[in-house]
Chain A
Amino acid sequence: MFAINTCDLFKEDMFPSYLGHEEAQISLSELRQAAGVLETARLDTIRILEIPALNKVYAVLTLSGFFSPPYQVFLDGKSLAVLKTFTDVGKGRFLMYDPDTGILIRQSNGISILDPGSLELRDSKPDVFGNAINYFDDPWFGVRKDESTIFLIGMHEGAVSYVKVNIDDSNNWQVGNDGVKNMFSFDPSDETDYYVQDLYIAADNAVYLLLGQKESDRGYLFRWNTAADFTGNIADSIFTYIQVPIGRDGSGYVTKAGYFRPYRNRTLLIERYRYDTAQAAVIDSFPLPSNFQGRAAFFQNKDAWVLYDEGKETLHLMRGWW
């Protein structure tokens, strides 16, 4: 115990210790200027989009604010350089990559398809959601089942739902009338308590879906053995799950390196857990300044992460500590 505490003492710095892991940095004001975003826009979410086939990785930010439209800003995940800005993106959180299609983002009531290399607009599928938009508070993720079917996953009236998007031979996209399903009924009495936090498709094709429980520090990490299981008859599919702790801000991240969540006790830490066991077990942790405010996002297949320091309004690309 003493050795651990002593070691922790030596790790303490008057300055943010995370800076020793920094690889790139950009201030929010620089970012706004480069992206053409209004000064009133605040950072909402950070998502990481990895495209290994193209050796590309993007940090995708959503920003919004008073008198400001929602923005979706693509940054180079290796340098945090601003690459592209999109507006009219709904709440701006929907993001999906499909090798056969491209990068999918929200555009009004439809979907824009971007070239994964250049981020240029490849195609636009307006009004995909149609009335189905009413079934989503906001879709976050998408999984392609086959050539003619894409599942969009989000929340509906507090429960996890998915929308089945049918693609016909003419490449018209349309939500099927029967496409909306309650995907998960883990505890029907509590179903309105959950929210979708993360989706991770591992190299072995296993699908992990992280649900957080509102007003608690509990989360549930579900695992389907294959994407086919996940996108098959979802409501009846076989899955396993473990309980994991969720950050106080409701965040948690599933990656190849482990499950991450912020935790504040005596100090503020980001804890890394094993999740391939019956119970999530802490592997290690990374200290943040005790007065730190901000959020993080983790690369799912690389030893890297992104940290936003709300106090300094700076975004940092970080090397992994594991």
Chain B
Amino acid sequence: MMSPKLHYYVLILIIAALGWGRGTLLAEENPGEFQFDERTVLMLWSQDSTEASSGSAAGTADQFSQYLLQSLRSILTRAGYSPGETITLALPSANPLETAITKGQEQRIRWVFLASIQVSEMNLSWNIGIYDAKRGSLRASDNFSTFPGLSALPAIDDSCQNLVQAWLGAIAQDVAIVNLTENAQQFSGPQEDVEIWYGSKDTGVFAGMIKQGALEGLYIPFPEGKPLTIEAWKEGYWPKTLVLPKGVTDQTVRIPALQKRASSVWGLGTGTGKLLGATYLYRWYPVPDRFFLRFDNSLWAGYSFTPNAIPFWHDELRIGVGLYLQSAVDGRLRLAAGSALSGVISVLPSSEKLVSRSALDILVEPIWVSLEYHFPRWALTGELRLPYAAGTGFLKQGWLEGAGGGPFFFVGVLIK
């Protein structure tokens, strides 16, 4: 687990890398000076095994040295820097600053790591300095001493990490390297308690939570004018990733409403062929907002509004499956299709001369199609149905058609 501080630096560097590209930018602060590769790190190291006359002690020293170098490489890579050539020095440098600057300028590499490792029977110590070959200065250093056993390994990792963080912190404040923003980003949004993260929620930095429709994000000195990726997150809702193309600006960023992550939905509606009634529906999503099972129940009356007519009552129980066809699970406009099977119990009430009759009609729908417009917690839906009657009850066998032919149309509201 990375510490928040490390998040912070990693994020800055990721953003910087997005804008700059890797290993391609050569600084040109002052014409006539050397051009330096600022994305590669030159690594120098020396090892001093003062009491390691035996081969086994020298081997132990080698192992610690290689471990330290590997740890440094790994951390640098995560930070967006490319570990360059590793040069072994025969002896610890008497003047490490001069050695580092000379080597860096020779290879046109600005950042030079110089590690010196001493190993004795009872002690392992190291000293690492990070030098700026362009400016001719030391930007960060760290040293540590411990027993040369397994417990030294985490200490080496911690030391390398602290060192790189200190270095990144130092150069992040270096206005000569990047122009950093001085203001916090302002956010607004229609939903409360939406968390804003710089980067992603998993690896980014928490900028804050929208309250009363607004948020002043955590101040972080992001590079000016460089794209900034943010993620809006709320429990139970689909997260949304946004890219601020110009990074932090003084313009308020409006966070769009997040769509609720639907695992079940209920709804109400009605449709042609059953306008004198209503449909209650329930959907269960094994795959949220992608695939669902549906259960509809419709109760309606057929009535011709003419003298001597009596209502013809129907109750339809419909089960089916549905699939959203677009790739985005949180889109506003969604197209879904599926199949269904239903049974309709119809009752023709008794009249003066007629004995009550009832029958069960089985309907099969090889395909239905719906178009939905989603708001965060509810949606409007319109559906086309083309049922096929099995001819088991009042309906004759064949495709059912709405008045004038064509499918039946259902409209309704879905509550997430």
Binds A, one of B16-24, B71-79, B269-277: B269-277
A23 to B400, CA, bound (A): 24
Query: Is A309 close to B, CB under 8 A?
Result: yes
B274 touches which of A13, A17, A25 (Cβ 8 Å): A13
Binds A, one of B42-50, B81-89, B304-312, B320-328: B304-312
Question: Chain B residue with minimal CB distance to A9?
Answer: B275
Q: Cβ of B366 < 8 Å from any Cβ of A? A: no
Is the pair A286, B306 in contact by a Cβ cutoff of 8 Å? yes
A284 CA to B308 CA, complexed, in Å: 15
Contact check, A22 vs B354: say whether CB atoms are below 8 A apart.
yes
Closest chain A residue to B352, Cβ basis: A23
CB-CB under 8 A from B314, the residues of chain A are 13-15
Determine whether the beta carbon of A14 is less than 8 Å from that of B408.
yes
Residue contact B312 to A321, C-beta cutoff 8 Å: no
On whether the beta carbons of A287 and B305 are closer than 8 Å, the reply is no
Please tell me if the beta carbons of A11 and B354 are within 8 angstroms of each other in the complex. no
A287 touches B403 (CB 8 A): yes
- Chain B residues closer than 8 Å to A320, beta-carbon distance: 307-308
Given contacts A12-B275, A14-B314, A266-B403, contact A78 B308 (CB under 8 A): no
Report the separation of the CA atoms of residues A188 and B210 in the bound assembly, to the nearest whole angstrom. Answer: 91
Contact A24 B354 (CB under 8 A): yes
Let me know if A319 is at the binding interface, CB within 8 A: yes
* Of A11, A24, A78, A291, the contact of B304 (CB 8 Å cutoff): A11
Q: Is B135's beta carbon under 8 Å from chain A?
A: no
Q: How large is the interface on A (under 10, 10 to 19, 20 to 34, 35 or more residues)?
A: 35 or more
CB distance from B241 to the nearest CB of A (A): 45
Q: How far is the CB of A284 from chain B (nearest CB, A)?
A: 8
8 Å CB contacts to A: which residues of B378-410? 387, 391, 394-405, 408
State A262–B273 Cα separation when bound (angstroms): 22
Check A12–B402 contact: CB distance below 8 A.
yes
Docked complex: A218-268 residues within 8 A CB-CB of B:
266-267
**A156 vs B40: C-alpha distance when bound (angstroms):** 110
Question: B401 contacts A15, CB within 8 Å?
Answer: no
How far is A286 from B306 in the complex, measured between Cα atoms in Å? 9
Q: Is B346 an interface residue (CB 8 A)?
A: yes
Of the A-B pairs whose beta carbons lie under 8 Å apart in the complex, a sample of 10, sorted by A's number, is A9-B272, A11-B305, A13-B273, A14-B344, A14-B395, A15-B394, A19-B302, A21-B304, A23-B351, A267-B404
Lowest 6 CB-CB distances: which A-B pairs, in order? A13-B302, A311-B396, A321-B306, A319-B308, A14-B273, A266-B404
Binding site for A on B (CB under 8 A): 272-276, 300, 302-312, 314, 344, 346, 348, 351, 353-354, 357, 361, 387, 391, 394-405, 408
